[in-house]
Amino acid sequence: MGRIILDSDLKAKLHGLKEALEVFDESGQALGYFLPLDEYHKRIREKKEIPFSDEELDKFRKSRWWRSIG
């Protein structure tokens, strides 16, 4: 897994984020999703399914950023 280190300015823009966040570039292209660590661990414990609709998953698969795992 990759790693990004946030500088203090970007961290401040997250405003103490407590829920999932969609991440886009300047052109509006979806880059991915961010889950705060507490939410990530909660979902792992609860073994929740992916919180995206079939339509959203289709959109991700068609984007140039899609990559399957496995």
CA-based torsion, 52, 61, 44, 49: positive or negative = positive
Where are the alpha helices (H) located in 1-70, listed in sequence order? 8-13, 37-46, 54-62
pLDDT of residue 33: 84
Output the pTM of the full model. 0.49
pLDDT digits (tens, 9 = 90+) for 40-65: 888 777 776 667 777 887 787 777 66
